[in-house]
Amino acid sequence: MPRPLPLLLLLSMPLAGFATSPATTSDDASSLLLKHGDADDTAQRGRVVGRVTNAAGEPVEGVTIALKGTTYGATTGTDGSFRLSVPAGSYQLVVSSMGYASQEIAVTVTAGETLTLAPFALAQSSQQLNEVTVTGNKSLNERITGVSKMAIAPLDLPQSVVTIKQETLEQQQVLRLSDAIVNVSGIYVTSTTGGTQEELGSRGFAYGSNNTFKNGVRFNNGIMPEASSLESLEVLKGSAAILYGNVAAGGVLNLVTKKPRFEQGGSLGLRVGSFGFWKPMVDVYGAVGKSDKVAYRINGTYEQGNSYRDNVKSDRFYVNPSLLFKLTPKTTLVLEGDYLRDNRTPDFGIGAINYEIQESRSRFLNVAGANNATTQTSATATIASQLNNTWQVRGVAGFQRYDNELRSASRPTTVVGTAGPNYGNLTRGLQRTQTAENYYLAQLDLTGNFRTGFLGHTLLVGADADQYETNTLAYTNPASTTRANTAVSTYDIINLLDPTKTVTQPAERLSGFDDLVRNTLTQGNTRRAGFYVQDLLSVSEKVKVLAGLRWSYQETPSDVYYYNSVANIANKTAGTYVENRRYDNALSPRLGLVYQPVKTTSLFASYSNSFQPNTGQDASGKSLAPSTFNQYEAGIKNDLFNGALSANVTAYRIVNSNLAQTYLGPVLGADGQPVTGSNGQVVTNLNTNVKELAGEVTSKGVEVDIQTKPMMGVSLIAGYSYNHTAYTKSNIYENGSRLRYNPAHTANLSLFYNFGSAFGESAFLRGFTAGVTGYYVGDKLAGRNPRLYDPTKGPGQPFTDSFKLISIPNYTLFDASLGYSYERVSVRVKLSNILNELSYNLHDDNSVNPIAPRTFSATLGYKL
């Protein structure tokens, strides 16, 4: 039987953004066992599609599908599906895989038509029950990711990369990204400011919108993404600057949504849970008509629920349509779009007094009518073409629209902390903002696999350009009607410890959000472009070198219009105009070495450099230059027991040696000389917008990731991370003091058992799965780092800072899951936070959000 065509394997990699399964790439040329040079006319062909599962109804990857007596065949994808395009006729279809009994079925293929077979349920082979049998699922170190932009197996990549598959996401009933990232060591929730988003971080650095991608396109993570649409979750840890330009040092996260399929299918689902939560879901896919050139997929959901938090509620709607076009046997086009509307109560938590958490899980401090309304729309077009046996080209065009309107009380910062009758009183103000953002992206990548002499090359040459257009309208307090040159800033006063307590209110107060007046309109138009080249050099079977370089350009204009007169406010036009411009460019090199003493083990070390633009100006009035990060990473990756278990260990060190920090030197005049005051003394700068690149932050740590293939019904994911991120040089904070929000320790465990692997066909437990997940967060800080100087007086003055760090209580979450499937129907139940642990996600000391208590959820599903 011929070997799979290299062309087809390459073509299957980047078809739809960043991840596909063989089922999405099947066409006349993509039956992997198809004989070279077959000249059958396409019009005389028919199609056979189907899906293979194990006894418990779970998909089985890597199963061989062959037409007996011919060279036609295919292998199943990660979802167990396959598709064959063959000449019309009658055949015996043979389904076989190691550890399972082979099956044969008679099929008759009609020209121009698609034959959809009922799902195959493979039975365990009795001859191999005494052996350690592994299904065809790929190991952690065999899953090639789209986020790396190259068809490089993780064992060949001198960097830590982890993929979480759809089966795991469904098995664990993942609802939010915070539920999914517990499967990856070293990624954590830094805070949940306002309760409207989940802010993530890794290796001491926050994942902003620059570090979060959907199908390879940046997306605004100011809104919680919809997890039910995910096909997989890809995490590339450490530096990704050479591939994506301006990204934070901790790594990048890529959300891969579900892709079109040619076989007809789908599912309906309903999830219900504690606190009135309910969420219907639908997912349908198939060929458009009887076409073998166009396939579609539509998945969507509606969600509504209250909360364990008093007066907090949410509702959201999401839809994600996509189309796959086979333009030619070597060229595909995928069009994807999604729309998300999310309304929820902004919730800044339970508050703190004197940097001490006032323990509670339900206390609510916002005002009636507070709302955070967000809509996000995106569209992506991805075209991929195999030019020849060596080169492939891939282009991506993307657009995103993001709109947000926030109406909320201000964060609870003005809490009376002195003993007395007013202790705990909180003065509440109001805030209101409107944000609109358009994002555009164009990207072109050329990849090739070839040799020059003894060197093998996996080459990537690419260019990208993107643009953010943002408009942010901020409101402020109105002028007082009774006191000149003052503003009414108070909505009311409550007591943080007892919101029902009667408190004397000020004479003049805001009556609601409509009292606020326009203050500033900030228009941004960030434009970026980059050119990059990267080559994986295979020096020998055991030694590989990854080398690359990126040049990046970034233009960051920011124009602020001030509504500074009654006429401007009445006419809704801006008055004073302030223009800011910043132009930056940077080179980002990368060099890595991989040594593989055996095919299943690799040792690696790498160096990379990245950059981060800064705001503010230096002492001479010039715009501040970017900060740079030097990253060092080393580790070992292992596939053990014939790939049944992957165990990877990574150590890293990241140094920002030119951190932007407040300049504490003398104020400089136009002549560049220090300015002196009337007393003849040099005037010290107290403007925090004036900065210098003289600080340093160092992050260092170790991460362990362990995953198994499903083996004898057992699947395991486990991990541990240690991180220490601290100021190693600063004129503001004590050297050695840790940065906030980053836990020193995290640990994770997911253990699931499929009873169908141990019980026969007639056993009642055959459709059952059971599992437990655990997640530990330890030694995490919030609050504010104490300063070494009084920012109102300058350095050298006697000073005791009121800022303090808050130690967040360590916690361990355990969730238990149970599932049962019978034919097309499935039921999954989940009990989260079994121990009812109480801890918090904090931003400074003014968004103290408790983690969820013990909750229950259940999902009923039906496969179409």
Q: Which segments of 185-250 does DSSP mark as H helices, in order?
A: 241-244
> Can you name the residues that pair with 772 across neighbouring β-strands?
751, 816
**pLDDT at site 827:** 95
Specify the pLDDT at position 55: 65
pLDDT for the residue numbered 56: 60
> Which of 113, 62, 49 lies closest to 286, judged by CA?
49
Asked if 140 contacts 646 with a C-beta cutoff of 8 angstroms, the reply is yes
Rounded Cα distance between 249 and 246, Å, is 9
What amino acid occupies position 468? Y
- Distance (Å, rounded) from C-alpha 652 to C-alpha 593? 15
Give me the mean pLDDT over the 149-173 stretch: 90
Alpha carbons 609 and 547: distance in angstroms, whole number: 12
Report the pLDDT averaged over residues 676-683: 78
What the block records as the tokens of 679 is 């007393």
Question: In this structure, what token pair is assigned to residue 573?
Answer: 């036009």
Tens digits of per-residue pLDDT, 279-335?
Answer: 999 999 999 988 889 999 999 999 999 999 999 999 999 999 999 999 998 999 999
Structure tokens at 309: 């938090």
Query: How many degrees, rounded to 5, is the angle at CA 747 between CA 745 and CA 748?
Result: 155
Please tell me the distance from the alpha carbon of residue 365 to that of residue 351, in angstroms, as a whole number. 8
> Which is more confident, 641 or 856?
856
What domains can be seen in the chain, in order of their start residue? 46-121 (2.60.40.1120), 154-257 (2.170.130.10), 265-863 (2.40.170.20)
Q: What is the C-alpha separation between 476 and 564, in angstroms, rounded? A: 11
pLDDT for residue 11 is more than 70:
no
The span from the CA of 423 to the CA of 419, in Å, is 5
Segment 546-553 mean pLDDT: 95
The confidence score (pLDDT) of residue 758 equals: 55
| Strand extents, DSSP E, 410-479 | 425-428, 430-452, 455-476
pLDDT, residue 46, reads 82
Q: How far apart (Å, rounded) are the C-alpha atoms in residues 567 and 546?
A: 61
Percent of the chain with pLDDT over 90: 57
CA 472 to chain centre: 25
* Residue 165 in this model has a pLDDT that exceeds 50: yes
CB 167 within 8 A of CB 464: no
The sign one gets for the Cα dihedral 685, 686, 690, 696 is positive
556-582: average pLDDT: 65
Lowest mean pLDDT among 94-98, 197-201, 446-450, 838-842: 94-98
Higher pLDDT, 533 or 49: 533
| Closest to 723 in 3D by CA, of 201, 373, 300 | 201
- Label each residue of 788-824 as H, E or C: CCECCCECCCCCCCCCCEEEECCEEEEEEEEEEEECC
Mean pLDDT of 710-735: 93
| Position 381 pLDDT exceeds 60 | yes
H/E run at residue 294: strand 294-305
User: How far apart are the C-alpha atoms of 701 and 715, rounded to whole Å?
Assistant: 27
* Per-residue model confidence (pLDDT) at position 363: 92
Query: Which residue has better confidence, 561 or 656?
Result: 656
519/514 Cα distance (integer angstroms): 13
- Which has the closest alpha carbon to 841: 190, 2, 1, 35? 190
Give, as one character, the DSSP assignment of residue 479. B
Q: Is residue 738 within 8 Å of 724, Cβ to Cβ?
A: yes
Looking at residue 730, what is its pLDDT?
A: 93
pLDDT band at 582 (very low <50, low <70, confident <90, very high): confident
**Are the C-beta atoms of residues 505 and 493 closer than 8 Å to each other?**
yes
Lowest mean pLDDT, pick from 100-109, 368-377, 528-537, 632-641: 100-109
What gap in Å lies between CA 729 and CA 783, rounded to an integer? 20
Q: What integer is the mean pLDDT of 834-847?
A: 93
pLDDT at 396 over 90: yes
Measured CA to CA, the distance from residue 266 to residue 26 in angstroms comes to 18
Tell whether the model's pLDDT for residue 18 goes beyond 80: no
Assess whether pLDDT exceeds 90 at residue 578. Answer: no
Listed ranges 229-238, 716-725, 794-803; the one with the highest mean pLDDT: 716-725
Cα-Cα-Cα-Cα torsion 842, 847, 850, 851, nearest 10 degrees, comes to: -60
Residue 181 has pLDDT above 70, yes or no: yes
Find the range with the poorest average confidence among 71-85, 153-167, 213-227, 560-574: 560-574
831 token code pair: 């009990």
The pLDDT assigned to 99 comes to 61
Decide if pLDDT at 339 tops 80: yes
Average pLDDT over residues 122-133: 48
pLDDT exceeds 60 at position 539: yes
Q: Is the pLDDT of residue 719 over 60?
A: yes
The tokens of 328 are what?
A: 């030619």
pLDDT computed for residue 763 by the predictor? 57
Burial grade of 807 (CB within 10 A; 0-12, 13-18, 19 or more): exposed
Q: Is the pLDDT of residue 25 over 80?
A: no
pLDDT of residue 689: 83
Q: What is the mean pLDDT of the chain?
A: 86
Could you identify the residue written with the tokens 């006729």? 89
Overall average pLDDT of the 160-188 stretch: 93
pLDDT tens across 78-93, in order? 677 888 888 888 888 8
pLDDT at 96 exceeding the cut of 90: no
Q: Per-residue pLDDT for 446 more than 60?
A: yes
Backbone angles phi, psi at 9, to 5 degrees: -65, -40
Confidence band for 764, pLDDT divided at 50, 70 and 90: low
Tokens read off for 399: 């657009």
pLDDT at position 337, please? 95
Average pLDDT in the 714-741 region? 95
Q: How confident is the model at residue 577 (pLDDT cuts 50, 70, 90)?
A: low
Whether the predicted pLDDT of 125 surpasses 50: yes
Q: Which alpha helices (DSSP H) does 453-573 contain, by range? A: 566-571
Structure tokens belonging to residue 108: 């008759």
pLDDT at 616: 80
Q: Is the pLDDT of residue 35 over 50?
A: no
Quote the pLDDT of residue 706: 96
**Chain segment 611-666, per-residue pLDDT in tens:** 888 888 888 888 888 899 999 999 999 999 888 899 999 999 999 999 999 888 88
CA–CA gap between residue 612 and residue 588 (Å, rounded): 11
Residue 775 pLDDT > 80, yes or no?
yes
754 pLDDT above the threshold of 60: yes
Q: Which residue has the higher pLDDT, 768 or 37?
A: 768
The residue to which tokens 């079925």 are assigned: 105
Q: Where do the DSSP E strands lie in 141-228?
A: 161-165, 187-191, 199-202, 205-207, 212-214, 217-218
β-bridge partners, 588: 550
